[in-house]
Structure 1
Amino acid sequence: MARTLPTKTLVRTSATSIRHFPGHSKPSPPPCALMFRKAAAVLLLAAAVALPCAVLYRAAVLNAVQPVQVGWDRRPWWQRDQPPPAVMVPDEDGDVDPAAAGDPESDNLKLEQVLQEASMDNKTIILTTLNAAWASPGSVIDLFIDSFRRGVRTRSLLRHLVIITFDWKAYKQCKKIHTHCFALVTKDVDFSQEKRFQTAGYLEMMWKRLDFLRLVLEKGYSFIFSDSDIMWFRNPFPHFYPDGDFQIACDHYVGNATDLRNIANGGFNYVRSNNHSIEFYKFWYSSRLRYPGYHDQDVLNFIKHDPYITDIGVTMKFLSTTYFGGICEPSRDLNKVCTMHANCCIGLHSKLHDLRIMMEDWMNYMSMPLSLKRFGAFSWRVPQNCSLSLHNQ
């Protein structure tokens, strides 16, 4: 009677009893295993072809829809403390619009560079502001610069003039006609069009200008600020007071440089950079909230009586219209006039007309013999399109 082997032994014997001898073929794998291997091979081949195509397609799409980033931060995202710089967008001429940058640090460096290049030895500069409406060829800015060239001892002052532009069109035009230009742009605000007196756009532009002047003072630069509708006929520096922190022209001058009844005009002032003037400009700018709807010149004529002006310690002087006149109150003696302002005048067309007449009068005066100049019989033919009845512009 045969012995019965244990089950475990039978399984092992069955598993090891299969032998492969030379000349015999290898048994085929089960059908399910074969199908799995074929599917895996197909998937690997598809992945090998699709992955490079996907990378190339993504790169092409990104290049098509995304602008080029200047100075992109190539560090991994988890190492980036700041977002990448904003895009600098070329305009139709291939130039780069500084308004698109939105980089305060970069703008600050550019401003510092412009101020240094234009500065006199005592860190004094001349500033004016400009938008596209006043920047077109033959417009206000051309007359302004031409007055420096035709004035007495004023041509050399152009080296110290910085033109602050409120929009990109004005900046491009400035670079064509002058050396020192700086773009003071505001995102989503269009300052390029003419801003009529006392409109919301006009007020916003005036207050932006004032705050910028405060920044210049904080950087340690003294300045003459001049509206670009002011003609420079003589060097004004000999007629500034040696002890004045803040000196300003007038629409109406009562005869005394310290009399608060003088009606100040913010279009022309000479300011020394010190703690008194900086604090004064901060107070002036913040006072816009106390007097909503008024421009900086009106607010100045309000706050000049404020006791806080005395507390600040700023020395304020008003400049005589004998030397710093305008259409509101013209300089009567062409032998003494330094500047003439197209104040008391609303509208670009009216200003341009009277400014051109003013320049013609000056050139006629300069061509006169010295004996006739001394006689002082020559006078202005303005106002014509402007009006003496308009004040506080």
Structure 2
Amino acid sequence: MDLGGGGGSNPKVDEDDFLESGGNHHDSSSHHHQHQRYFSSAAVKITLLFVVVGLTCLVLNQSAYPTQMFQRSYTFSEPKDSLRGNISSPSCTAGAMQHNVSSSSSSANDNNNLEIILRAAAMADNKTVIITTLNAAWTEPNSIFDLFLESFRIGNQTQNLLKHVVVVALDRKAYSRCMEVHLHCYALTTAGVNFSGEAFFMSEDYLKMMWRRIDFLRIVLETGYDFVFTDADVMWLRDPFQRFYPDGDFQIACDHYWYNYTDLNNSPNGGFNYVKSNNRTIQFYKFWHTGRDYFPGKHDQDVLNMIKFNPFISRIGLEIRFLDTAYFGGFCEPSKDLDLVITMHANCCIGLENKIHDIKMVIDDWRRYMALPSGTERNLNSTSWTVPRICG
């Protein structure tokens, strides 16, 4: 392994050569030569010590070891290595985090520096942001992006949350549009990939976009920020932070909420989740992203449904919580009571125009609901949705 900054690789340190250079062969001909060999030996020992420490930190923080837990089938095996040692090395972790963030944004100028943008968007705790990803097709005027922003403006106590949203633009057009209407915009480009057009469900571009998103969110966690990730087709109608579980590392909405909030048999949807930055979630996102290679052709949500039962999850101590569709609903399973709803997601709906049509109906339903006097009259007159229509 070449750890130096020069062009050649470092020579291999042989143990026998090291011992010999350490002065085991005495030479009584010169006291000066003895001192020379002594200092040479000390220098070699010190150098070797730094190399060993550096390699230890490097190994502990590489994401490669989660790949050993995947089998090239749909059956997973328990990790054989000790994960606890990897998780409990904060001194090494801090250096790795800083290196990863720097390398991911080293080519960006200050206007597109991820750490600066996250810091500017952070909430009062200085560590929580709201993140969405967009391409050109979703940022066209009167498209998904405008409806997304509108939901914050007409929601119940959601207006203030808008200043904490970071829009991650996947192409130049989306970035330009974001800069026109929003405060916090980050340009995330991928060499050799054009994400500007509509990425049809399960197409090659769609899959690349989904996995690029997972990898980016891992970087955000390594930067030290908690986040709520939200698809732009999620309408924010109330403040969700009051409904998150205080003991959850990774909290996620559901297509279908079948059981209690800790039951892994619920059907998660990757379009809305709240994630706390810690070693458990960082290792989880690395493990999740690695699944792309072991389940080719599957998107991130399919892989999540597979790995959520893997022993790796319990080994690292990750606390997963599932969000009830009574509060965090969607077209798959609409929340039935408008007095409770927090978010409404245009899931189970394929096609950009179909999503736009039914999301506009969500906005209209919500406006009518908010126009009613609060209290009994509001409850009696409007407690459910007229959607989904085309998406249903």
State whether TM-score is above 0.5. yes
Could you tell me which residue of structure 1 aligns to residue 55 of structure 2?
none
SS of alignment partner, residue 372 of structure 1: helix
Pairwise CA distance, 1:378: 2.9
Tell me, in whole angstroms, the C-alpha distance in 1 between the residues paired with 2:104 and 2:248: 36
Please state if 1:117 is matched with 2:112: no
Please state if 1:105 is matched with 2:106: yes
Q: How does 1:1-393 map to 2 (within 5 A)?
A: 104-107=105-108, 110-122=113-125, 123-370=127-374, 371-375=376-380, 377-387=382-392
Pairwise CA distance, 1:188: 2.0
Aligned-partner residue type, residue 243 of structure 2: H
Cα deviation 1:260-308 (Å, max 9, x = unaligned): 1100000000000001110110100001111110000110011101111
Cα deviation 1:63-87 (Å, max 9, x = unaligned): xxxxxxxxxxxxxxxxxx99xxxxx
SS of alignment partner, residue 325 of structure 2: coil
Pairwise CA distance, 1:373: 1.8
The answer to whether the 8 Å contact 1:250/1:264 transfers is: yes
Pairwise CA distance, 1:108: 8.3
Pairwise CA distance, 1:103: 8.6
Tell me, in whole angstroms, the C-alpha distance in 1 between the residues paired with 2:211 and 2:104: 21
Tell me, in whole angstroms, the C-alpha distance in 2 between the residues paired with 1:107 and 1:376: 52
Aligned-partner residue type, residue 378 of structure 1: T
Could you tell me which residue of structure 2 aligns to residue 30 of structure 1?
none
The answer to whether the 8 Å contact 1:333/1:376 transfers is: no
Cα deviation 1:332-376 (Å, max 9, x = unaligned): 110010000000000000000000001000000111122222336
Cα deviation 1:84-114 (Å, max 9, x = unaligned): xxxxxxxxxxxxxxxxxx9941438611110
SS of alignment partner, residue 106 of structure 2: helix
Considering only aligned residues, what root-mean-square deviation do their CA atoms show, in Å?
1.6
Pairwise CA distance, 1:242: 0.3
The answer to whether the 8 Å contact 1:334/1:376 transfers is: no
Change (3 A) 1:282 1:373: same
Pairwise CA distance, 1:186: 1.1
Could you tell me which residue of structure 2 aligns to residue 85 of structure 1?
none
Structure 1 regions of 5+ residues with no counterpart?
A: 1-80, 83-101, 388-393
Tell me, in whole angstroms, the C-alpha distance in 2 between the residues paired with 1:156 and 1:103: 30
Tell me, in whole angstroms, the C-alpha distance in 2 between the residues paired with 1:211 and 1:335: 36
SS of alignment partner, residue 224 of structure 1: strand
Tell me, in whole angstroms, the C-alpha distance in 1 between the residues paired with 2:129 and 2:104: 25
The answer to whether the 8 Å contact 2:369/2:382 transfers is: no
The answer to whether the 8 Å contact 2:259/2:265 transfers is: no
Tell me, in whole angstroms, the C-alpha distance in 2 between the residues paired with 1:339 and 1:103: 32
The answer to whether the 8 Å contact 1:255/1:320 transfers is: no
Tell me, in whole angstroms, the C-alpha distance in 2 between the residues paired with 1:239 and 1:367: 24
Q: Give the greater-gyration-radius structure (CA).
A: 1
SS of alignment partner, residue 315 of structure 2: helix
Tell me, in whole angstroms, the C-alpha distance in 1 between the residues paired with 2:136 and 2:285: 27
Pairwise CA distance, 1:254: 1.2
TM value normalised by structure 2: 0.72
Tell me, in whole angstroms, the C-alpha distance in 2 between the residues paired with 1:369 and 1:211: 45
